[in-house]
Amino acid sequence: MNGTRIRITPRRRSAECVTLSAVRAAGERICAGEAGVHVPVPAGDSAVAVLARAVNAVQQQRDDDRRRLRDVAARAFRAQESERARLAHELQEETAQTLSSLLFRLRAARRQADPAVRDAALDSVRALLSETADAVRGFARHLLPPALNDAGLAAALRGYAASLSESSGVRIVLACGDVSGLLSREGELALYRVVQEALANAVRHAAPSCIGVEVAACGGAVCARVADDGAGFDLAAREAADACLGLFGMRERALYAGGSATIQSVPGRGTLVVVQIPVQRADEGERWPTILPRPVDARG
């Protein structure tokens, strides 16, 4: 049927004009940020029908993205509030109670007529005050580790692993390759936070006997693997119950740095967290000192 012309009837031309007008109106509404815009699609595979389907597909994608962003924002808000509640609990249960105890001991010391007894009471207050100051400094280091700025990623991870191992009694084995200078400060902080969260979750919930941490350059990224031999859990069930804000936080931290974090876990067989942050070198003036790579048993 070569050379055969397709006759466009007035009705068909009128329908296509109506559709083009609808596409134009939909485009204006989409540009204005309106959600749920839909263009009627004429029958057949005409250019107008293809255009209408494309507009609907773009709008559907935008609506899906909006829903995902709302979900992410809601979960991030819950994670933030959960972290604030945890910090408030630690401040109230530890620091605030200790300070109240210090005030009580100071009042008691002032009432002592015997200088020797008073001096002994003041020495006790001084010791407790020193312990409180150390606890506050540790609290601040947990929030923003100075070693990350002063000595780099490897040293910060070694310090945190050693501290956590000492306080929990869990053996943590850390092997860190030479990754100094490969990441921006934001990238290093994101990777550090994900590893920190993975270690803390394992110690807090999995009762492991040993946790292994490996950090190395892999292609165009810096990769970290945190594997424990603890209790494990059903990841799908946790996510369905919306009870995995810590896991969600790890993914979000990696995503903000342009990377990714994956979690694999089997009940009774431990958990594996893998994070990848793409290489994005810091400016020469911001590069941190080189840390020589060496495998470390965090408990010495």
> Mind listing the pLDDT tens digit of every residue in the chain (300 residues)?
444 443 444 555 555 565 677 777 777 777 777 777 777 777 777 777 788 788 888 888 888 877 777 776 666 666 667 667 777 777 777 777 888 888 888 888 888 888 888 888 888 888 888 888 877 777 766 666 766 777 788 888 998 899 899 989 999 999 998 888 899 888 898 899 899 989 998 998 889 999 999 999 988 999 999 999 998 888 877 766 655 556 777 888 888 888 999 999 989 899 999 999 999 865 433 443 333 333 334 333
- Strand-pairing partners, residue 226, are 213, 273
- Strand-pairing partners, residue 223, are 216, 276
For residue 94, give the 3-state DSSP assignment: helix
Burial 218-246 (b: 16+ CB within 10 A, else e): eeebbbbbbbbbbbbbebeebeeeeebbb
Domain layout of the chain by residue ranges? 10-70, 79-139, 146-297
47-90 vs 10-31: helix crossing angle, rounded to 10: 20
Q: Judge whether 271 and 214 are in contact, CB under 8 Å.
A: no
Nearest by Cα to 172 from 36, 300, 6: 300
Task: Outline where 111-184 has alpha helix (H).
Answer: 115-143, 146-150, 153-168
- Strand-pairing partners, residue 215, are 176, 224
What is the homologous superfamily of the domain 146-297 according to CATH?
A: Histidine kinase-like ATPase, C-terminal domain (3.30.565.10)
Q: Judge whether 211 and 199 are in contact, CB under 8 Å.
A: yes
245-256 vs 185-201: helix crossing angle, rounded to 10: 160
0.85 exceeded by pTM: no
Q: Is 175 exposed, middle or buried (0-12, 13-18, 19+ CB in 10 A)?
A: middle
d(CA 250, CA 217): 20
